[in-house]
């Protein structure tokens, strides 16, 4: 197999990267009809598998799980996830031959082995579904020509796919049909029904491509969504400890701070997040974020360039072949960081205090969101896709850190995302060392000791204009306008 993206002429690469069409609610009036009465069999019952299956069943679809023999024999967590929730569980041989749609929700590293094992068992004219395009795009998996290949990719951790559904909402979702595998021409109808079954249509669905999803998803997860929050957590915590801030307070400010400050982001974009600060703090956060953007832009460009040309995938697959040596080493190192080993203190922190004492965190989120958006769109990703993959998903990742710190984030996201997060973190920590030397507790831990809200008018006007004029704010206002049912989390 060879990288599918790299096998295409530039003309087709650009066309596929630019595939992005917002699908209005009226395109989902048929709901799950296209899959009603069909047998959906999910391979794997982990973060996405369990939560998507629960949503699909609650949406009235026939869902069962097929697990590898060892998972069933050893009654592993995946087996318990499915059986404890009342789902039928069977082996590949028992369930795949009668499946109309097989949802491959196993780790990306396993996709080639899994698809090679299940494809011979799949009935003629059935459908193979993915939630990430890595296997098709980066590995170039060739699927039997009678099989329809679709993707329904939630722009969200598995846990929040379920939580937002239970809140009566959903998560933004990219759908796609692999152009090499749509023999009956019903791939789009099935992908739409699958997206509706997960609740994604309530938040927003983009008709995308496997290529556009992969090249944006890898970028978002490596940078703003996971890498930036991990790097920011470690740097901000270590700085507060260096400056004598109580460790429990510092731990709580960060663990819960990302969730609080990015909730403002979710409802009103970067503008609203900075509007939550005093004028002097807003000016300071803006200045810090501009400095961070200059320092980190080359790193964001390198991550996107390596994702586009397949370097990232090649390097990660080398680690797969080396028994995930780096992934496991970096996972262990993360667990040993001072932030991870310091429990959040039993101290009350008011909602506004998270903003006032977390000016640097606000600056990091602003810098990361804008840089990721700017870099993705410069690489040919369409603004709507870049928005979902940067600004909108950040609060959903922050929710996982609020639960159980970086451990929970890295456990909940895919192994692919976890690997990319560490790759970024390893590069960004040294990159920001000099910047952090100039940081003090006025922007992280204690806040500015300003006696008034007075700032220079021209400065404030320039900052407010820059915030509001950024393209991520323009597309964000439009897409949030469609999310009328969005629910508060904190
Ligand atoms: N995690 C997330 O939030 C998101 C993930 N995705 C995508 O969804 C897909 C699934 O990821 P995720 O939910 O994180 O995966 P998880 O690691 O959470 O779960 C993987 C599941 O697959 C099973 N599994 C592992 N290895 C094999 C194998 N060799 N053969 C058969 N089954 C196996 C595991 O069970 P057992 O080991 O017991 O057999 C487990 O049930 C990926 O393509 C990912 O990129 C997309 C968006 C977000
Ligand atoms: C942000 C990481 C992610 O892409 C996701 C939850 O969307 C993943 O692969 O887990
Ligand atoms: Mg993602
Ligand atoms: Mg991902």
Ligand nearest the Cα atom of residue 132: 1
**What is the pLDDT at residue 488?**
57
Question: CB–CB of 48/154 below 8 Å?
Answer: yes
Name 89's Cβ contacts closer than 8 Å, sequence gap at least 6: 64, 65, 66, 67, 72, 79, 82, 83
- Protein residues placing their CB within 5 Å of the ion ligand 4: 217, 221, 414, 417
Residue 221 beta carbon below 6 angstroms from any ligand 2 atom: yes
**What is the pLDDT at residue 449?**
86
The alpha carbon of 97 and the centre of ligand 3 are apart by a number of angstroms equal to 30
Structural domain contains residue 13: no
Whether 169 and 260 share a structural domain? no
Q: Where are the alpha helices (DSSP H) in 179-278?
A: 187-198, 210-220, 229-242, 247-275
- Of 85, 105, 111, best ligand 1 pocket probe by most atoms within 8 Å of the beta carbon: 105
Strand bridging mode 21-23 / 127-130: unpaired
Whether 201 and 320 share a structural domain? no
Residue 231 beta carbon below 6 angstroms from any ligand 1 atom: no
Whether 119 and 222 share a structural domain? no
Residue 156 beta carbon below 6 angstroms from any ligand 2 atom: yes
Distance CA 243, CA 246 (A): 9
Residue that is written with structure tokens 């995308």 in the block: 208
Tell which of 150, 176, 207 closes a domain: 207
pTM of the model: 0.97
| CATH code, 136 | 3.40.50.720
DSSP 349: -
Whether 79 and 36 share a structural domain? yes
The alpha carbon of 302 and the centre of ligand 2 are apart by a number of angstroms equal to 20
DSSP string spanning 31-59?
Answer: TTGGGTT-EEEEE--SHHHHHHHHHHHHT
Structural domain contains residue 12: no
Structural domain contains residue 2: no
Structural domain contains residue 3: no
Domains in the chain, number: 2
> Would you say 278 is a known binding-site residue?
yes
Structural domain contains residue 33: yes
Domain ranges, residue 382:
212-482
| CATH code, 308 | 1.10.1040.10
> Hey, what are 439's tokens?
């940081």
Whether 48 and 117 share a structural domain? yes
Q: What are phi and psi of 316, to 5 degrees?
A: -65, -40
Distance CA 42, CA 48 (A): 10
Report which ligand 2 atom has the smallest distance to the Cα of 47: 10
Q: Tell me the catalytic residues.
A: 132
> Would you say 393 is a known binding-site residue?
yes
Closest residue by CA, ligand 2 atom 1: 221
Distance CA 142, CA 6 (A): 15
Measure the CA angle with vertex 130, ends 127 and 131; round to 5°. 145
Measure the CA angle with vertex 11, ends 8 and 14; round to 5°. 90
Whether 265 and 363 share a structural domain? yes
> Hey, what are 441's tokens?
């507790």
The alpha carbon of 135 and the centre of ligand 3 are apart by a number of angstroms equal to 15
Tell which of 182, 207, 232 closes a domain: 207
Question: CB–CB of 258/229 below 8 Å?
Answer: yes
Distance CA 224, CA 68 (A): 34
The alpha carbon of 462 and the centre of ligand 3 are apart by a number of angstroms equal to 34
Whether 104 and 184 share a structural domain? yes
Closest residue by CA, ligand 2 atom 6: 157
Report which ligand 1 atom has the smallest distance to the Cα of 108: 43
Residue 489 beta carbon below 6 angstroms from any ligand 2 atom: no
Residue 216 beta carbon below 6 angstroms from any ligand 2 atom: no
Residue 415 beta carbon below 6 angstroms from any ligand 2 atom: no
Distance CA 6, CA 315 (A): 16
Structural domain contains residue 229: yes
> Would you say 46 is a known binding-site residue?
yes
Q: How many CB atoms lie within 10 A of CB 12?
A: 13
The alpha carbon of 474 and the centre of ligand 1 are apart by a number of angstroms equal to 35
> Would you say 83 is a known binding-site residue?
no
Structural domain contains residue 489: no
Q: At what angle do helices 279-309 and 359-378 cross, to 10 degrees?
A: 40
Rounded to 10 degrees, the C-alpha dihedral 339/341/342/344 comes to: 90
Question: CB–CB of 88/117 below 8 Å?
Answer: no
Ligand nearest the Cα atom of residue 130: 1
Report which ligand 2 atom has the smallest distance to the Cα of 220: 1
Ligand nearest the Cα atom of residue 418: 2
> Would you say 109 is a known binding-site residue?
yes
Whether 424 and 443 share a structural domain? yes
pLDDT, mean of each 10-residue run, the chain (490 residues): 94 97 93 98 97 98 97 97 98 98 98 98 98 98 98 94 94 97 98 98 96 98 98 98 98 98 95 98 98 98 98 98 98 98 98 98 98 98 97 95 97 96 98 98 95 93 98 96 67
In angstroms and rounded to an integer, the radius of gyration of the C-alpha atoms of the chain is 22
The alpha carbon of 389 and the centre of ligand 2 are apart by a number of angstroms equal to 9
> Would you say 45 is a known binding-site residue?
yes
- Of 41, 43, 46, 397, best ligand 1 pocket probe by most atoms within 8 Å of the beta carbon: 46
Whether 176 and 229 share a structural domain? no
Whether 223 and 193 share a structural domain? no
The alpha carbon of 102 and the centre of ligand 4 are apart by a number of angstroms equal to 20
Tell which of 147, 177, 207 closes a domain: 207
Structural domain contains residue 424: yes
The alpha carbon of 156 and the centre of ligand 3 are apart by a number of angstroms equal to 6
The helix (run of H) or strand (run of E) holding residue 400 is: helix 394-412
Distance CA 60, CA 40 (A): 11
> Would you say 217 is a known binding-site residue?
yes
Whether 224 and 101 share a structural domain? no
Strand order in the sheet with 205-207: 21-23, 205-207, 173-177, 148-154, 127-130, 101-104, 39-43, 62-66, 88-90
- Of 42, 48, 93, 411, best ligand 1 pocket probe by most atoms within 8 Å of the beta carbon: 48
Whether 156 and 302 share a structural domain? no
Distance CA 244, CA 230 (A): 22
Strand bridging mode 148-154 / 173-177: antiparallel
> Would you say 167 is a known binding-site residue?
no
Residue 395 beta carbon below 6 angstroms from any ligand 2 atom: no
Residue 110 beta carbon below 6 angstroms from any ligand 1 atom: yes
> Hey, what are 24's tokens?
């209005």
């Amino acid at each position: 197999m060879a990288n599918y993206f790299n096998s295409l002429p530039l003309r087709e690469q650009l066309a596929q990267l630019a595939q992005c069409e917002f699908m209005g609610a009226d395109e989902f009036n048929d709901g799950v009809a296209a899959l009603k009465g069909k047998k959906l069999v999910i391979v794997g019952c982990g973060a996405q598998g369990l939560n998507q299956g629960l949503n699909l069943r609650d949406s009235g679809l026939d869902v069962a799980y097929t697990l590898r023999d060892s998972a069933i024999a050893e009654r592993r967590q995946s087996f318990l996830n499915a059986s404890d929730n009342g789902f039928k569980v069977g082996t590949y041989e028992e369930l795949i031959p009668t499946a109309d749609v097989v949802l491959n929700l196993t780790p990306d590293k396993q996709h080639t082995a899994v698809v090679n094992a299940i494809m011979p068992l799949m009935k003629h004219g059935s459908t193979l579904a993915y939630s990430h395009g890595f296997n098709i795009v980066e590995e170039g998996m060739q699927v039997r020509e009678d099989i329809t290949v679709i993707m329904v990719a939630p722009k969200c951790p598995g846990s929040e796919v379920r939580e937002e559904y239970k809140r009566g909402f959903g998560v933004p979702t990219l759908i796609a049909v692999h152009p090499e595998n749509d023999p009956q021409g019903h791939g789009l109808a099935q992908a739409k029904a699958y997206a509706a079954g997960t609740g994604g249509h309530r938040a927003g669905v983009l008709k995308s491509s496997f290529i556009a999803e992969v090249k944006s998803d890898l970028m978002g997860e490596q940078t703003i969504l996971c890498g930036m929050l991990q790097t920011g957590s470690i740097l901000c915590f270590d700085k507060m400890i260096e400056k004598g801030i109580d460790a429990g307070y510092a731990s709580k400010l960060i663990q819960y701070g990302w969730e609080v400050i990015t909730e403002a982001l979710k409802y009103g974009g970067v503008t609203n997040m900075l509007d939550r600060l005093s004028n002097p703090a807003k000016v300071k956060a803006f200045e810090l974020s501009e400095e961070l953007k200059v320092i980190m832009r080359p790193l964001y460009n390198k991550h996107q360039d390596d994702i586009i040309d397949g370097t990232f995938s090649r390097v990660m697959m080398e680690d797969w072949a080396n028994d995930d040596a780096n992934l496991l080493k970096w996972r262990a190192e993360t667990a040993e960081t001072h932030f991870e080993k310091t429990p959040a203190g039993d101290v009350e922190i008011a909602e506004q205090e998270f903003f006032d004492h977390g000016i640097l965190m606000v600056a990091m989120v602003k810098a990361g969101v804008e840089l990721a958006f700017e870099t993705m769109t410069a690489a040919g990703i369409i603004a709507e896709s870049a928005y979902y993959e940067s600004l909108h998903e950040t609060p959903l990742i922050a929710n996982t850190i609020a639960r159980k710190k970086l451990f929970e984030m890295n456990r909940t996201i895919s192994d692919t995302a976890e690997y990319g997060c560490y790759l970024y973190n390893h590069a960004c920590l040294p990159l920001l060392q000099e910047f952090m030397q100039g940081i003090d507790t006025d922007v992280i831990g204690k806040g500015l000791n300003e006696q008034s809200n007075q700032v220079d008018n021209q400065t404030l006007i320039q900052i407010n204009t820059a915030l509001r004029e950024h393209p991520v704010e323009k597309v964000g206002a439009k897409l949030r306008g469609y999310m009328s049912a969005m629910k508060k989390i904190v």
